[in-house]
Amino acid sequence: MHAKKHPDYIAEQDRFVFTKSYIQLLLEAARNNETEYREHIRQAIMNLNSGDSSLGYISLLTNAKFLEMTEREHRHLERVQHRPYFARIDFQNTSQSAPETLYIGKISLFDRESQEDIIVDWRSPIANVYYDGRLGRVSYEVEDGMIEGDLSLKRQYIIEDGALQEIRDIDITTKDELLQQSLGGNAESRLTEIVSTIQEEQNRIIRADLYHPLIVQGVAGSGKTTIALHRIAYYIYKHAQYFAPESMMILAPSKLFLTYISDVLPELGVDQVQQTTFLDFVTECINVKLVFTRMDEALVDLLQEEDMQAKREKERLLSFKGSLPFAKMISRYMQDIERSLLPQEDFCIGTLTVYKYERLRRLFLYEYKYLPVYKRIDKLKRVLQNHVKAKKKEMEARIIEHYDSKIERALLIRDATRRKETVIRLMDKKEALLKEFQKECRTAVASYIKKFPKKDVFSYYKELLQSAENMRKYGPEGLSETIIANMTASLRKRKFHYEVGDAAALLYLQHHLYGVKKNIKIKSIIIDEAQDYTLFEMFVLKKVCGTELFTILGDLSQGIHGYRGIKDWDLLIKRIFPKANYLTLQSSYRTTIEIMNVANAVLTGHSDVRVPIAIPVVRHGNRPVFQKYEGAAALQEAVECFVKEGKQHGFKSFALLGRTKEECNELYLLLQEKLPCALMTEQQELRHNMLSILPVHVAKGLEFDCVGIVSYKERFTKDELDVKLMYVAMTRPLHQLTVFAQQEEDVLLNSIDHSLLDWQS
């Protein structure tokens, strides 16, 4: 309802004006405080050189801290000043005599004098009833229990250009109009924060127990990416002392994806969260410039392989490399390295045994077990050096004492010449022995340590994989000879060039043998598009990061890397995260009912779906179009028309998706002269207002207003991989989907219910 027509308009407008002016007051105060703190800091710096500078330091640090806090508050207030809140609830706690009115916004604000809430943060416990509760009896959780009460009003506001535009009261029957409106927008305005329209099932995930791992199976467009980011904001709010933003890490599928999500966290008031890809994380941990063949290159290789037998073998190899049996194989191999590393001898200085082998072995294998293997060598070295230092004095004293007593006895010899000769001989001997002993003391530790083999992580890895014998020895029983042969052949010649499937193994070896080079202080990890990870990768991440606090979000129906990735969440829970909570998201918010119906039909018609299929939230649009064409010129024309019509409807972002990179190159060559377009790779940023041409696997996780899927030189087969690619492609558009092909079967549309599409030729 238009704000002015609402019966409470005057009261709401007053409240709105009051809140905005209060924020202005605080902003002004923040500006003044900043100037003051800066001046204090300047003075403190000037005073630092004077005699007693400790007071100066304290003043400097205190003022710097205050300045930082004020600047943060300033930033937050500036962000919300034009739209301070988005909702209101009237809630009466059972112990209260009247309902309390609470305005919900992105930050909390209270009256500095009365201490009363002006705005409550969307992450606060009571805000939960806005997301969760229907009108009537509701409850929410607080630290020491549950609060029950009555929710008598749930109201949403549309605020634009700093003015109250609409006021909507939500009752049980009213659909969430704000959600509808927000979903009707363009891709450019989407994927920012969705705090005002978070849905109940999404809210459960954002607020799910922070001290347990969480695994979320969510259909395409169910908000997994968005929710992951909101969960981070929630974490930081709820446990600010424990979860600093720097202690959280987001693992995203590509750099392109990272730029795509980069605006959301600052919008939510969160900076400094670590954001990276799995391969970059591994490279940082090993701290050597490594080149990994990316996952999509393995995918392209599979898509291009026409020999089915060869394709299956490649898949089996990739699948083994991602499996826990492979992790076990590496682990057995590392145990052998660990056991064989220590020289099988006592540690001696000359003929003097200082440490027995058995004792050294016990130290190395058991007492220092908490350290990575090669770090134990350093530890042992330090212990031996200290021991030698202590022993040296004692031994020197013994040698001196031994010879001095001999010399004393020699002095009693009657014959003067013999006496002189004997004393000189003994003194020389003593001297020589002391020198010899001192020399041995200096070199004993170094020459003992030299006996440990010096190899890097790559040599160890190669020694394992390049020897069929080693693989049989350490691998699982019955490991296929074809896998062994393919594995030995798979390692690239160049030292630092590896396949994506090697990354987990290298990281595991690095972690266990040397320790990772990165200073890891991560307490919580958020993994998006988790279906593309292997169990081995999950296992090693958990080991290296030393935490269980993972939030893992993915969709098995989009598992285009299923040949290597996770096929079943149960297995992940059982084998790696037994304490995990598992939740599902079934509503899809991105696309229209018409598009989602076609995507679901293609998926269920061609593959055995084991996860819930998507239910689109009520938003209708045009039926997807099947555009048949004959010849390159016709395709050119059809694509041109698709973009032109989309623009006429006010759409801004357009993508043309091809099956592989090669197919996209061909499309680019065909279209570049006709219309402005860009060939996208994972390394680039998306460019709006022109047609982006990209392979489906690169578009995974992204969204566009209008999407065209093309079969030009290549066709989508009935193979599971192609079906999933098609599903991913079909779930990218927000508003319009057009499929271009020479015949229906090239795009898996031949057996589809005809009424679902608009057939054009």
* Residue 7 Cβ vs ligand ATP, minimum distance, rounded to whole Å: 28
CA angle 354–360–364, rounded 5-degree value: 150
For ligand ATP, the closer of residues 197 and 551 by Cβ is 197
Pairing assessment for the beta strands 145-160 and 136-142 based on DSSP bridges: antiparallel
Secondary structure of residue 694 in the 3-state scheme: strand
* Residue 528 Cβ vs ligand ATP, minimum distance, rounded to whole Å: 7
Other residues' Cβ atoms within 10 Å of the Cβ of residue 631: 9
For residue 625, list its beta bridge partners.
738, 758
Report the amino acid identity of residue 708: G
CA angle 47–49–54, rounded 5-degree value: 70
For residue 276, list its beta bridge partners.
251
Element counts in the chain: helices (H) and strands (E): 26, 26
For ligand ATP, the closer of residues 552 and 671 by Cβ is 552
* Residue 176 Cβ vs ligand ATP, minimum distance, rounded to whole Å: 8
- CA distances from residue 32 to 21, 384, 750 in whole angstroms, order as listed: 17, 61, 69
Secondary structure of residue 353 in the 3-state scheme: strand
How far is 608 from 433, CA to CA, in rounded Å?
A: 82
How far is 271 from 277, CA to CA, in rounded Å?
A: 18
Coarse DSSP helix, strand, coil percentages of the chain, rounded to the nearest 5 percent? 50, 15, 30
How far is 721 from 633, CA to CA, in rounded Å?
A: 30
How far is 1 from 10, CA to CA, in rounded Å?
A: 14
Nearest to 537 by CA among 275, 352, 319, 384: 319
* Residue 702 Cβ vs ligand ATP, minimum distance, rounded to whole Å: 7
For ligand ATP, the closer of residues 44 and 232 by Cβ is 232
* Residue 590 Cβ vs ligand ATP, minimum distance, rounded to whole Å: 4
* Residue 105 Cβ vs ligand ATP, minimum distance, rounded to whole Å: 16
Pairing assessment for the beta strands 347-349 and 274-276 based on DSSP bridges: unpaired
For ligand ATP, the closer of residues 213 and 223 by Cβ is 223
For ligand ATP, the closer of residues 183 and 487 by Cβ is 183
Do 138 and 132 meet the contact criterion of CB atoms below 8 Å apart?
Answer: yes
For ligand ATP, the closer of residues 63 and 225 by Cβ is 225
Residue 221 assigned as binding residue: yes
Other residues' Cβ atoms within 10 Å of the Cβ of residue 464: 25
* Residue 526 Cβ vs ligand ATP, minimum distance, rounded to whole Å: 12
Residue 224 assigned as binding residue: yes
For ligand ATP, the closer of residues 191 and 426 by Cβ is 191
For ligand ATP, the closer of residues 523 and 561 by Cβ is 561
How far is 507 from 282, CA to CA, in rounded Å?
A: 6
* Residue 582 Cβ vs ligand ATP, minimum distance, rounded to whole Å: 16
Nearest to 566 by CA among 218, 731, 322: 322
Phi then psi for 759, rounded to 5 degrees? -90, 120
How far is 129 from 217, CA to CA, in rounded Å?
A: 24
Residue 269 assigned as binding residue: no
Residue 222 assigned as binding residue: yes
Nearest to 100 by CA among 115, 85, 117: 117
How far is 505 from 534, CA to CA, in rounded Å?
A: 11
Do 187 and 734 meet the contact criterion of CB atoms below 8 Å apart?
Answer: yes
Do 301 and 317 meet the contact criterion of CB atoms below 8 Å apart?
Answer: no
- CA distances from residue 134 to 76, 130, 139, 593, 618 in whole angstroms, order as listed: 30, 8, 10, 25, 19
Residue 218 assigned as binding residue: yes
For ligand ATP, the closer of residues 223 and 269 by Cβ is 223
How far is 216 from 199, CA to CA, in rounded Å?
A: 15
- Structure-token match 């990735």, residue found: 565
Nearest to 126 by CA among 106, 144, 116, 140: 140
- Taking the C-alpha atoms of 308, 313, 319 and 325 in order, what is their torsion angle to the nearest 10 degrees? 150
For ligand ATP, the closer of residues 442 and 649 by Cβ is 649
Report the amino acid identity of residue 225: T
* Residue 384 Cβ vs ligand ATP, minimum distance, rounded to whole Å: 55
Q: Which residue is nearest to ligand ATP (CB)?
A: 223
* Residue 131 Cβ vs ligand ATP, minimum distance, rounded to whole Å: 10
How many CA atoms lie within 13 Å of 594's alpha carbon, on the beta-carbon side?
17
For residue 248, list its beta bridge partners.
524
For ligand ATP, the closer of residues 106 and 224 by Cβ is 224
For ligand ATP, the closer of residues 437 and 589 by Cβ is 589
For ligand ATP, the closer of residues 191 and 601 by Cβ is 191
How far is 720 from 560, CA to CA, in rounded Å?
A: 8
For ligand ATP, the closer of residues 190 and 462 by Cβ is 190
Phi/psi zone of residue 393: left (φ > 0), alpha (ψ -120 to 50 degrees), beta? Answer: alpha
Residue 373 assigned as binding residue: no
For ligand ATP, the closer of residues 198 and 445 by Cβ is 198
* Residue 120 Cβ vs ligand ATP, minimum distance, rounded to whole Å: 19
Q: What does the binding site for ligand ATP look like in residue numbers (CB under 6 A)?
A: 179, 182-183, 190-191, 194, 197-199, 202, 218, 220-226, 555, 558, 589-590, 701, 703, 731
* Residue 343 Cβ vs ligand ATP, minimum distance, rounded to whole Å: 54
How far is 677 from 242, CA to CA, in rounded Å?
A: 47
* Residue 179 Cβ vs ligand ATP, minimum distance, rounded to whole Å: 5
* Residue 256 Cβ vs ligand ATP, minimum distance, rounded to whole Å: 13
* Residue 697 Cβ vs ligand ATP, minimum distance, rounded to whole Å: 12
User: Would you list which residues are annotated within the binding site for ATP?
Assistant: 218-225
Binding site, by residue number, is 218-225
